Amino acid sequence: MNAAPALIGYTAAVGFAAPYLLLRAAWPHRAPALAAAVWHALAVSFSFGAALSAASLAMPAENLHAGLVGLLHACGLDVGAGQPNPEVAGRLAVGVPAAIGIALMASFAFHVVRARRARSEHREAVDLVGRHSAHLSATVLPYDVPAAYCLPGRGPRIVISDAAVRQLTPEQLGAVLEHEQAHIAGRHHLVLAAVEAFYSVFRWLPLARHAREQTALLLEMIADDRALRSHSHEVLATAMYEMATARTPKGALAAGGHTTLIRLKRVLGPRRTAHPALWASVAAAAAMVPLLPLLVACPPGLG
Amino acid sequence: MRRLGDLEAEIMDRLWTWNRPATVREIVDDINKTRPIAYTTVMTVTNILYGKGWLLRGKHGRAWLYSPVRSREQYAAALMEDGLGESKDRPAALVHFVANMSEEEQAALRKALRNTARQADQAKADS
């Protein structure tokens, strides 16, 4: 019994069909953290699926019993019987999955390190140019447009323009700072680096493209929800509106601009959370999805 | 390290506020009004700032006169634009509050805000 066709079919479904199903679903915007977890689970599942597909293609006669342990066992010890060139097949069966794993790890490390370097340079300059406000727990920069962003990671900073401090009400300012604080506390930069890494390895894959875009939006929604815990919907929405419309777009259509609109409609719309039963089943599915390729590789009862 | 950064900020702050070229001696004298600091310390840190490209210097008689390369506002604008992702190649480095919006999006947004305001009024009237 060869698992390769089933594995390839499964991997293709995760990489090409699953993102469209998830994009069409209504619940992700009601449970953004869960949805972000599902995008990640799909990415992990696809990576496992691709690695196992490569392994089973390289060893068509082997049944990959007992998952990864079986894979290593099969490659290390049992390769040979009836194989035209067992050594090459064995090497490929280990080499290709290993290459996929190493590429993903290296890409993640690269993104984390590069972003950290960019942030620390930026932070150094912000500390020289801006004035730290102990009252706001933020660094204020002289800039005549209301705007705010954060530098997450080690030695985090929230940077806000003095125009924002002047033009926003104290409540609006509080909501904006709370939103940025949520990004820092939630270590959202690592989540972004992970989807960015997946995207740089599987650039052509619909799953990679959508996971990257959707995760960025879902992280904003998570931060919005955090701000809504202590601020009203109107306050957050009007703060977002003030800041989104103050700047004149450079170029024809500002990239990602529509995501602000999606967030605003969500903040203003009726407050809906995902049904607990739906939430629980999706969470269970998200936990299972990364393991599915192993089940496909080794159908119970056949191993 | 932390104290070095603080002194850098103090030096830049004075040069930006005075808005004219100044010698290390002038900076030291001004800092000395609030706390004692060695001339050589300030000179070293001023040299670091010059080396990092934050300051320009020119000889005036026997002393070096230092001035900021750009104004505080110019630096702030560059940092803000960088932080808000208007310059390229800063993935995952900085997370900003909202993205720019096109005219149509702003119109849709105003409509959404008006609708909620109306609903809120309605709810108040009903209760």
Query: Residue B122's domain spans which residues?
Result: 100-127
- Kindly give, in sequence order, each residue whose CB lies less than 8 Å from that of residue A57, ignoring residues fewer than 6 positions away: A4, A8
B82 with A122: Cβ contact below 8 A: yes
Residue numbers of A between 239 and 258 with CB closer than 8 Å to B = 240-241, 243-245, 247-250, 253-258
What are the respective helix, strand and coil percentages of chain B, to the nearest 5? 60, 10, 30
pLDDT > 50? residue B55 = yes
For residues A106 and A111, what is the distance between their CA atoms, to the nearest angstrom? 9
pLDDT number for residue A254: 35
Residue B104 lies in a domain: yes
Given this model, what pLDDT does residue A185 score?
94
Mean pLDDT of chain A: 84
Domain end (from B68, B88, B110): B68
Q: What is the pLDDT of residue A256?
A: 43
Mark which of B68, B90, B117 sits at the end of a domain: B68
- Range of the structural domain that residue A193 is part of: 4-297
The larger pLDDT score, comparing residue A68 to residue A8, is at: A8
The residue in chain B having the minimum alpha-carbon distance to the alpha carbon of residue A236 is: B97
Whether residue B124 is contained in a domain is answered as: yes
Residue B86 in domain? no
Residues B60 and B7 placed together within one structural domain of the fold: yes
d(CA A55, CA A77): 15
Q: What percent of chain A has pLDDT over 90?
A: 55
According to DSSP, the residues that pair with A140 across neighbouring strands are A131, A160
Asked whether residue B108 falls in the same domain as residue B56, the answer is no
> Which CATH number goes with the domain that contains B53?
1.10.10.10
Instruction: Check CB contact of A126 with chain B, cutoff 8 Å.
Output: yes
Q: Is residue B20 part of a domain?
A: yes
User: Is A302 inside any structural domain?
Assistant: no
Query: Considering the domain boundaries, does residue B94 fall inside one?
Result: no
pLDDT above 60: residue A1: no
Question: Which pLDDT band holds residue A131 (cuts at 50, 70, 90)?
Answer: very high
Residue B84 in domain: no
Q: Which residue has the higher pLDDT, B101 or A242?
A: A242
CB contact under 8 A, A126 and B79: yes
Per-residue pLDDT at A96: 86
pLDDT of residue A198: 96
The reported pLDDT for the residue numbered A247 is 61
Residue A88 binned pLDDT confidence (cut-offs 50, 70, 90)? confident
Say what the pLDDT of residue A184 is: 93
The answer to whether residue A82 sits within a structural domain is yes
Question: Residue A193 has which token pair?
Answer: 């680096």
Of B95, B102, B109, the CB nearest to A149: B95
Residues B6 and B63 placed together within one structural domain of the fold: yes
Report yes or no on B93 lying in a domain: no
Contact B99 A141 (CB under 8 A): no
- Rounded Cα gap, residues B79 and A180, in angstroms: 17
Least confident piece of the model among A202-206, B23-27, B97-101: B97-101
Mean of the per-residue pLDDT values of chain B: 82
Least confident of A28-42, A109-123, A203-217, A244-258: A244-258
Looking at the structure of chain B, the number of domains it has is 2
Read off the pLDDT band of A259 (50, 70, 90).
Answer: confident
- Using a CB-CB cut-off of 8 Å, the residues of chain A touching B110 are 241
Residues B60 and B110 in one domain: no
Structural domains in chain A (count): 1
- Is the residue at B78 inside a domain? no
A303 domain residue, yes or no: no
Calculate the CA dihedral of residues B83, A40, A46, A55 and round it to 10 degrees: 100
Is B76 in contact with A151 (Cβ distance < 8 A)? Answer: no
